[in-house]
Amino acid sequence: MRIVSVIAWGILLLIVADAGRASAECRVEKGSAGSATFTVHLSQTCTQAEREAQAVSAQELLHALASGKGIDLAGAVIQGDLFLDELPSQKAGSLKDLTTEDQRLLEGLEGQEVHVIRGPFALKHVSVKGHILNRLKQGFLLVTGPVVLTDTHFNGALDLSRTVFLGVVDGSGATFDQESFFVQDQFTQGAIFSGTKFGPHVRFHRSQFGAPAVFRGASFNGLSEFLEVVFTQDASFARATFHMGTGFSGAECRGKCDFSGARFDREAFFLFARFHRPVTFAEARFGGQADFSDALFLDNDDLAGAWFARPPLLTRTIRPTAAMPGSSNGTASSQAVTVSLFLAALGLLLYLLKSR
């Protein structure tokens, strides 16, 4: 009987061990050759060495995109540089397989050359070793599907300037070690960059957001440019951190803009910015010079709820309130310090009296 029990336990242990090995195996899923999407999915159990052994080359991606396929990568590694401007071009007016709404959005591109990515461009939990660049000086890159960059690590530069996104752009949790440029882009369905870590230089110069823009909790570790950006709907930079110089000069917020809890460690420029709806700076902290000269606030602002290391510049600024930002906070801080010092001195005096 004892021998039977030992054998049974041995079989059970072998089954458990096999199950453990199976669960730890690196599983790779690839789409078929005739699929409309170039797909490579690696399971989370894959080691870094296994991921690199299954690396996708930039040339493979370019070939897939040029043949009209979308991209769907998860857990993969991309080797080499991907130049999206090398995709074939066509006149914007020749695109016939778009929805009526998308065709309306492209009316402003009539007669211009566009390089088209059809379907999704999804990089989830991907490690991008090289650069992904759009070097167009004329014409535009057009992405008809969603762009997903969630939790992806970009070791090289990303330049998606002069791009029209017909789907939502989600870069939540992405990390950029080098520059990330989105100059003169059109985010027709908005963008999400919550918790994104931007590198030494990020540019959204002259881009337009046709739907909500979310940068909640994002970290801007270098120079950040939102010059002349148009937010047609709400934009959130709540709890975002700007470690270097930041520019929102000429930006236009047509919806509500939220900078509550944001931290600006260096200079922040809002010259000639226009705020059509209420904007909040509650509990925002400006460690460097904040310049709101020539800015226009058409609705309530709560600059008085922010903390300023230096008095903000409000030269020719138009605001619906006369409350001066920074003054009440500075007074409150000074009073708090005074009270603290007084209590400390009183406590020391009482201690000396008791010790006699």
Do 232 and 254 touch, CB atoms closer than 8 A? Answer: yes
Do 238 and 217 touch, CB atoms closer than 8 A? Answer: yes
What length is written for the chain? 356
Question: Alpha carbon 180 to chain centroid distance?
Answer: 10
Note the pLDDT of residue 92.
86
Helix (H) / strand (E) element for 286: namely strand 285-286
Q: What is the DSSP letter of 343?
A: H
Do 199 and 178 touch, CB atoms closer than 8 A? Answer: yes
Rounded Cα gap, residues 55 and 49, in angstroms: 10
Note the pLDDT of residue 342.
44
Rounded Cα gap, residues 179 and 198, in angstroms: 8
**In one letter, which amino acid is 255?**
G
Note the pLDDT of residue 350.
55
Do 214 and 194 touch, CB atoms closer than 8 A? Answer: yes
- Neighbour-count burial of 293, counting CB atoms closer than 10 A to its CB (0-12 exposed, 13-18 middle, 19+ buried): middle
The whole-number mean pLDDT for each consecutive block of 10 residues of the chain, a chain of 356 residues, reads: 52 46 78 92 96 97 97 98 96 83 83 92 98 96 97 98 98 98 97 98 98 99 98 98 98 98 98 98 98 97 94 96 63 42 49 52
